[in-house]
Amino acid sequence: MGFGGVTELAADDCWSLLRDHSLGRIAASAAGTVDIFPVNYAVDDQSIVFRTAPGTKLLELAINDRVAFEIDGRSATEAFSIVVKGVAERLERQTEIDEAEKLGLTPWIPTLKYRWVRIHATEVTGRRFALGPEPERV
């Protein structure tokens, strides 16, 4: 364990946790505003792929393709947080979309989400936290 029950995770451990989960948040910014959107996703090699409908997310990604993506989780004894920073690319070519569809990613809600986005990771970091009571104050 690191300082105060916090452990830095290796990149391979981060990708393993990303593969084990399917709900995350993408942070995008445009015109001085930062927005965070929940998305269900899949990992493809070392990139994040998600589907979306036309709207704010796609507009912001067209203005600024630099994004952050985050997942977290917890059990009774520990928690974790993984952050992926990278470049978002809307998949345009049918061959790219066909490959992405092989991931089996479907919308969780009954909406048409026919736009595909891939986040090419430039940085992946993660931390694991040992849960416990607050230490005594001295």
Total count of domains within the chain: 1
Range of the domain at 58: 3-130
- pLDDT surpasses 60 at 1: no
- Domain for residue 138, yes or no? no
Burial of residue 16 (CB within 10 Å: 0-12, 13-18, 19+) is middle
- Domain for residue 137, yes or no? no
- pLDDT surpasses 70 at 24: yes
Residue 10 has phi, psi (to 5 degrees) of -70, 155
Place 2 in a pLDDT band, splitting at 50, 70 and 90: low
- Domain for residue 27, yes or no? yes
- Domain for residue 74, yes or no? yes
Residue-wise pLDDT tens digits, 77-116: 999 999 999 999 999 999 999 999 999 999 888 888 889 9
How is 64-130 classified by DSSP, letter by letter? --EEEEEEEEE-SSEEEEEEEEEEEEE--SHHHHHHHHTT----SSSS---EEEEEEEEEEEEEEEE
- Domain for residue 122, yes or no? yes
Place 3 in a pLDDT band, splitting at 50, 70 and 90: low
In total, the chain counts a number of residues equal to 138
Quote the pLDDT of residue 59: 78
- CA-to-CA dists, residue 24 to 5, 120, 137, angstroms: 24, 15, 35
Residue-wise pLDDT tens digits, 31-68: 788 889 999 999 999 999 999 988 777 777 877 899 99
- Domain for residue 91, yes or no? yes
Q: What is the CATH number of the domain that holds 83?
A: 2.30.110.10
